[in-house]
């Protein structure tokens, strides 16, 4: 996965803010919706490359995915974080299946 690929997929890139940890190199966000409104947002944090302090092994940047859904029955927010190891396509597919269970409200409706 690359920054350019995420931008091609409709993600907007922005600089990390003070709420991000020091190891975050870049951030991305995508609004996911349909003609009814916004279902949810997907946020991606790209980590800086790093080296294991004991072995010296080098690790490339990784991408972590987060989102928040609102549970219909009680309006309680549900935060989800998927760590490195999946692709943006896989996370988007997972989120769409989860949203389509009918258990979650739209973030905002038109």
Predicted pLDDT of residue 21: 87
Beta strands in 17-93 (DSSP E): 24-34, 37-47, 50-51, 58-59, 63-71, 77-82
* Chain segment 25-47, per-residue pLDDT in tens: 999 999 999 999 999 999 999 99
Domain boundaries, the chain: 3-109
* Chain segment 47-101, per-residue pLDDT in tens: 999 899 999 999 999 999 999 998 888 878 999 999 878 899 999 999 999 999 9
Contact call for residues 61 and 50 (beta carbons, < 8 A): no
pTM: 0.88
């Amino acid at each position: 996965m690359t920054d350019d690929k995420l931008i091609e997929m409709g993600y907007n890139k922005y600089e990390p803010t003070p709420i991000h940890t020091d190891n975050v190199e870049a951030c991305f966000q995508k609004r996911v919706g349909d003609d009814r409104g916004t279902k949810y947002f997907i946020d991606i944090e790209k980590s800086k490359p790093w080296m294991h302090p004991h072995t010296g092994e080098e690790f490339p940047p990784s991408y972590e995915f987060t989102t928040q859904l609102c549970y219909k029955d009680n309006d309680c927010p549900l935060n989800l974080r998927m760590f490195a190891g999946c692709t943006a396509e896989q996370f988007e597919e997972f989120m769409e299946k989860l949203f389509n269970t009918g258990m979650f409200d739209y973030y905002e409706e038109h």
